[in-house]
Amino acid sequence: MAVHLPVVVIVGRPNVGKSTLFNRLVGKRIAVVEDTPGITRDRLYAMVEWQGKRFHLVDTGGIVFQDEDPLAEQIRIQAGVALAEADVILFLADAKAGLSADDWELAQQFRGSKVPVLVVVNKADNADRDALANEFYALGIGDVYPVSGLQGRGVADLLDVVVEMLPEVKKDDIPEKEEIRVAIIGRPNVGKSSMVNAFTGEQRMIVSNIAGTTRDSIDTVIEHAGETFRLIDTAGIRRRGKIQGTVEYYMVNRAQKAIERADCAMIVVDGNEGLTDGDKRIMKIAHDAGKACVFAINKWDIKEPPDGMPRKMSILKKDMIKVIRDEIPELLYAKIAFTSAKESAGLEPVLDEVLRAQEAYSFRVSTGQLNRLIGEAVFARPYSSKGRVLKIYYATQVQTRPPTFVMFCNDVELFHFSYERYLLNKIREAFPLEGTPVRIWARASHKDKDKDKKQ
């Protein structure tokens, strides 16, 4: 998994010296400036190394605004980017100009934020100016650090403080060797316990062909392809429901419980019976949970001779895939594997798919790569409505598990569903995201206009 560096974001009204400080911080210590052909955002992201610690520096002054974008809007976008991305925020102000209304406006955005904010007062070219910097304590958001981006005064001290505050790793980074938690879900009798038994190669659980036989959910740990999988089995339906609704209730309830603990849902379907409404309800649960997802179309031996269950697509398989794609379009991202628990066939391929889906679920893209992609996508197909053009100033991945992207734009109303779909497709084309849901949030300056949509 790619190492995700901590992020330090510079914010501040125009002309306080963001670009100058950015260049100074990146300056000779620069390791890599991500190259962004076609888009003039060279000063937006860079990697900085100080005392052996590395971080990504983002200069919100490098976000390209148009002339007609109001300053208040720009300030809110900057703050939004900082709050979404930063591990440390450098709030840049100007000692020469003193405290301004725009500083207050920006400070307002950070009140109550959990991200540490350092008030960096630039243009402190001499000791007299250092004294002027004290005025900025009035903002009440953090300690004040006088620097001169132009001369380099105070910059080393600032960097000492910054690297001290950096987290070791991003909160959502996963150690490389963590077990993969897979919820085996599906209607009663589709073969969930048989699958688990086949995976383990031993009859650890009682398999019965009576739907709803009393069994408890058991975790089983197996190894495959050098990875550890924890199979969370939901076969156990506590009691046989006389009323259809009771069985349904336990089925749904247990599937939900298992999925909560899992990274990936393996949805087992009885391939001989075909897709039923119960299957669809289970699939909906998996989709709503926002976890990685793989289909195991089980009992395929009844449909076709197993002899190793080659991955080759027969007409029967193609038909089954078509039914699933047509009936459950929400889960287009989930791969479909064919299995026979009875014949122990197709089991390794389905685990391979789980592994891929799990990797996709934890996928992370760098801000530079993402902005390049989105910049190109918007350039290739601009969107406007009622004479207003959608502008996406900045894109960032705010989460993994599942990958979640925030697009900072001029107006969320312009971020039309069809355009979101277009960008999602671009993202899916560019990155290995098969098997996982992907989310996009559009965000403008006003919090209450936030949109949180799942795909």
Question: To the nearest whole angstrom, how small is the minimum distance from the Cβ of residue 367 to ligand GDP?
Answer: 19
Token pair of 60 as six digits: 């919100």
Alpha-carbon distance of 43 to 355, in angstroms, equals: 37
**Closer Cβ to ligand GDP, 298 or 404, answer by number:** 298
Peptide bond into 402 cis (omega under 30): yes
- Minimum Å distance from CB 92 to ligand GDP? 7
Torsion of CA 415, 421, 425, 428, to 10 degrees: 80
- Virtual CA dihedral for 270, 271, 277, 280, nearest 10 degrees? 90
Q: What is the CA radius of gyration of the chain?
A: 27
* Separation between Cα atoms, residue 85 and residue 76, nearest integer Å: 14
Minimum distance between the CB of residue 186 and ligand GDP, rounded to whole angstroms?
6
Answer for the pair 414, 383: CB distance below 8 angstroms, yes or no.
Answer: yes
Contact 85, 7 (CB under 8 A): yes
> What are the residues facing 10 on neighbouring strands?
59, 90
Cα distance from N-terminal residue to C-terminal residue, the chain? 24
CB of residue 187 to ligand GDP, shortest distance in Å: 7
Q: How far apart are CA 301 and CA 309, in angstroms?
A: 8
**Kind of pairing between the strands at 227-233 and 219-224:** antiparallel
The pair of structure tokens assigned to 270 is 């009885």
63 or 414: whose CB is closer to ligand GDP? Answer: 63
- As measured in angstroms, the least distance from the Cβ of 214 to ligand GDP is 12
144: which strand partners? 119
Q: What's the closest the beta carbon of residue 22 comes to ligand GDP, in angstroms?
A: 7
| CB nearer to ligand GDP: pick between 142 and 191 | 191
Would you tell me which residues interact with ligand GDP (CB under 6 A)? 12, 14-20, 61, 122-123, 125, 148-150, 186, 188-194, 207-209, 235, 298-299, 301-302, 340-342
Q: Shortest approach of ligand GDP to residue 71 CB, angstroms?
A: 12
- Which of 209, 418 has the CB closer to ligand GDP? 209
d(CA 157, CA 146): 10
In angstroms, the CA 126 to CA 209 distance is: 84
| Closer residue to ligand GDP (CB): 11 or 324 | 11
Smallest separation, CB 117 to ligand GDP (Å):
17
The alpha helices in 315-442, defined as continuous H runs, are 315-327, 347-361, 367-380, 417-430
For ligand GDP, give the closer residue by CB, 249 or 379.
249
Q: 101 CB contacts (<8 Å, ≥6 apart)?
A: none
Least CB distance from residue 248 to ligand GDP, whole Å?
14
